[in-house]
Structure 1
Amino acid sequence: MTPDERRAVEAWESLFRAQVAVLRRLGADAIWQDVSFREYDVLFTLRSRPGHAARLRDLAALSLLSQPSLSRMVDRLEARGLVAREVVPGDARGTLVVLTEEGARVQGEVGRRHAEAIAAYVGGALDDDDLDALRALTGRLRDAQGAIPDVRRSPGR
């Protein structure tokens, strides 16, 4: 391994391990009474989409779940009244997952607690300059991957 490769690998490992440590701490928080961490991610993703809706395939692209696992999760969220399934207009085979009013309420409540935890764990460890630098660095890293489409920004999908 060249020195440049070693430096890149060590930087990646550091970033990855920091993310895992924060995610584990967030996952262990008492804020997840209403929904699991992964269920929250689905509700959050829907809340950020136009019309609070997304095709099932787009939700799968935005999450770490496979489409079959996501389908089962959507079934559970639908049974609890947090999302609804609809047919995509003009595409009878497409499934649109829509955040319900109750889903938006739950996402908002859990989201406030989640934001407080992130502020404590990340903001408590880094000062404002560090946070700005981290955001800039991770943005550059993400942007350098270029070929991966960001379905969050794709209207009408």
Structure 2
Amino acid sequence: MSETTEPAIRLTAEAWESLFRAQVAVMRRLRNDPSFKKLAIGEYDVLFNLTRCPTGWTRLNELNRNLLISQPSLSRMVERLEAKGLVQRKQAPDDQRGVMVALTDTGRELQREIGAAHVRVIHTLLGPILQTGELKQLLELTQRIREGVDDAEHADY
């Protein structure tokens, strides 16, 4: 390894660690947010991701790509959310083993309610720390990271 590569590797590791620790600090504060008394933050994340599905329905394994939990854990969570009347499941039309998931009207209403309070708390946390231009830069950088990692995941090795 060359001398110029070592500092680049170290900087990459430090930047990643800083990003990760910042996210942990924010998530700790958000977990204590009273908005999540009706629904745990992980369950809310499932509802939020379902709002982003263009057709309203998505395969369980597609939903899992946007979450940081295992497929079996997501399956159990979806069962709990279905029991609460917040999501509905059906068999995938083209695959008898596949499961499709969508929000119910009740789930959509609860997601909007929690989401509105949630974004205000996020703004309360980050607004005083970062200026508008910095927030835009953070958004651009994190989108580039996600796209780059997704591209690398789908590349043939």
When normalised by structure 1's length, the TM-score is: 0.88
The answer to which structure, 1 or 2, has the higher relative contact order (CA under 8 A, 6+ apart) is 1
Per-residue deviation, 1:111: 0.4
In structure 2, the residue matched to 1:35 is: 39
The answer as to 2:103 corresponding to 1:99 is: yes
Equivalent of residue 70 in structure 2, options 66, 74, 87: 66
**Unaligned segments of structure 1, at least 5 residues:** 150-157
Per-residue deviation, 1:142: 2.4
User: Kindly, what percent of the aligned residue pairs are identical?
Assistant: 47
**Unaligned segments of structure 2, at least 5 residues:** none
In structure 2, the residue matched to 1:77 is: 81
In structure 1, the residue matched to 2:51 is: 47
Structure 1 CA distance for aligned equivalents of residues 143 and 8 of structure 2: 21
In structure 1, the residue matched to 2:30 is: 26
Alignment root-mean-square deviation, CA: 1.5
Q: What do residues 79-112 of structure 1 show as CA deviations (whole Å, max 9, x unaligned)? A: 1100011111232221111110000000000000
User: What SS does the aligned partner of 2:152 have?
Assistant: coil
The answer as to 2:155 corresponding to 1:131 is: no
The answer as to 2:152 corresponding to 1:147 is: yes
Opposite residue 62 of structure 1, the aligned amino acid is N
